[in-house]
Amino acid sequence: MNEMNFMKKLIILVATAFFLHLQTEAQNLADGEKIFKTTCTACHTIGKGKLVGPDLAGVNARRTPKWLLEFTKSPQALIKKGDPIATKLFNDYNKIQMPDPNLTEVQIKNVLAFIKSKSAPATVVKPVIANTKATTAKAVISNTTSKIQEVKKTSSPVADWIDAEYKIKSFSFAGEINPKDLNASIWNNQKTNMLPISVQNFTYPNLQTASVDSISVKSVYRSNQVVFLLEWLDSSKNVEVDVDKFCDQIAIQFPLNTNEIPSYMMGNKDGMVHIIHWKSIWQEDKEKGYRDVQVMYPNMWVDIYPGLESYLDRSKRVYAQDITSEQIVETHSFGNMPGTYSHNPMSQIKRKEPVEEANAVGFGTIATQETQQAKAWGQWSNGKWTVCIVVPVNTGNIYKAKFTDKTKVAFALWDGGFGNIGGRKHFIPWVDLILEK
C-alpha cells in the first residue's frame, strides 16, 4: 500500500513538474515575443526577408548559442574584438550600428527561443548575406498593417488605404500651387494614400512607442516641382522648443541617384539623399513673427547686449527688454549673434519659409543646402496636422532630386507632445512615387 501511494505521489509530482515546465516555457516565449516586437521588428523579420538587418529565420541553427548571446548583448563589443562574423554583418549592412538592447541574459534567451519557434525548418540553410542598401516599406510594415487598418477605419480623417505595392501616384497639374491654400480644389480629386508608420528603435536615441500610426499623402507634380499634402492625427499642437518641450515636425526624403537607391535612414556613403524638413516652430515664426527670449521668458532680465551700450547719448542706452532680435540684426551688434551671423538655419530671425532643404549620407551627416527653394505651410486644427510641401526637382542643382517618371520617397515624423526629437521619431521607409502622365 505504501509503495502504491508513493508511486501515485511520484506520478503527480512528475506531472506537476511537466506542466509547470510547459507553463514556464510558454511564458518565456510570450516574453520573447513581446521584446522582439518592441525592440527588433524595425530592423529584422523572421522569415519575411531582410530589412535594415538580416532575416533572423533559422539563426539559431546558423550560429552557436554562445555567439548569439554575446552578439545580442553587445554587437559593438563583439565587432571591436574583431569577430569575423560580426564584422562582416556590420560591413554588409551599410555599417549601421545595432544598439546594445540593454537586455538581461534571460531576456535574450527568451527572444532567441521565440525566433526559433517561428523559424520554419526549411529556412535553415547556408546563410547568404547580401549587401543591400535599399529596403522597401512593404517588408517593414507588413506585420503592423492589419492592426493599423482596424484603427484607421474609425479614427482616420481621410480614406483609402495604399495598395499592396505601396505606391504613391502623383498626378500632373498646370499652374502654381500656393502651399498656404490647404483647401485648394486641386486636392479634391486626388487619391488619398494612407501609409502605416513605424518607430525608429534601432539606433540611439530611439523611440519605443508610437503615438502616430499613419500619414495621409496626396501628391501632384509638374516639370520642376512635386507637391505633397500630408495629414496625420495629433492630439496637441506643439510649437515650442525648450529643455522639456519639443515641436511637431515632418520630413520628406528622396534619393539623388534613382539607379542605386541608398538606405532610407538618411542615406549612406556614396548614397546621398535630398531631405525637405518642415518644423512647426518655424511655422509659428512665420505666422506670428520671431518669438524672442522676452516672449518665451517674460521675466528675463539682461542689462545690455554687447555693442548696444555704445551709444554716445547714455540716456538712450538700450536694454535687452527694450529691443528685439530683429532690431539687433539691423545694428552693428549683428556680429555678436554668431549663429545668425553665420546663417545657421536654426538661428535665422527673418525666416523665409517654415521648411529646410538639406542633404545627408547617413546618420549625423545632415547639412543644409546653400540654395533653399522648397516652400511649405502647415495648420493644426481639431486634433490633426495638415501640411503642404512644395519640393523643387529637376532644377539642375546636383543636390536636389532628379527624376522623370518614378522614384522612391520616404518620410519621418516627430510628435513633439510625446518627446519626439532627433532620432526619437516615427518613419516610413522607401515607397514608390509614380508620376502619372
Q: What is the 3-state secondary structure (H, E, C) of 244-284?
A: CECCCEEEEEEECCCCCCCCCCCCECCECEEEEEEEHHHHH
**What Cα–Cα distance (Å) separates residue 304 from each residue in 130, 144, 319, 326, 348?**
61, 56, 5, 16, 21
CATH topology of domain 2-123: Cytochrome Bc1 Complex; Chain D, domain 2 (1.10.760)
CATH topology of domain 137-289+351-436: Immunoglobulin-like (2.60.40)
H and E: helices and strands count for the chain: 12, 13
Grid cell, residue 381, equals 486644427
Continuous segment of H or E residues that includes residue 105? helix 105-118
Count CB atoms within 10 A of the CB of residue 299: 5
Grid cell, residue 47, equals 522569415
* Domain spans, the chain: 2-123, 137-289+351-436, 293-338
Q: Tell me the sheet residues that pair with 433.
A: 168, 407
Are 366 and 358 in contact, with CB atoms under 8 Å apart?
Answer: yes
Count CB atoms within 10 A of the CB of residue 240: 14
Hey, is 195 helix, strand or coil? strand
Q: Does the bond joining 205 to the residue before it have cis omega, within 30 degrees of 0?
A: yes
Per-residue pLDDT of the chain (437 residues; tens, 9 = 90+): 566 665 665 565 555 555 544 456 778 778 888 888 777 876 788 887 777 788 888 888 888 888 888 898 888 788 888 888 888 888 887 666 677 777 888 888 888 888 888 886 543 333 333 333 334 434 433 333 333 333 333 333 322 333 334 689 999 998 889 999 999 999 998 989 999 888 887 777 888 889 998 999 999 998 899 999 999 999 999 999 988 999 999 999 999 998 888 888 898 888 999 999 999 999 999 998 887 777 778 777 665 555 554 444 455 555 555 566 666 655 555 666 777 777 788 888 888 999 999 999 988 899 999 999 999 999 999 999 999 999 999 999 999 999 888 999 999 999 999 999 999 999 998 999 999 87
Q: 414: which residues sit within 8 A by CB, 6+ positions away?
A: 246, 247, 248, 249, 250, 420, 421, 424, 425, 426
Would the CATH topology of 2-123 be identical to that of 137-289+351-436? no
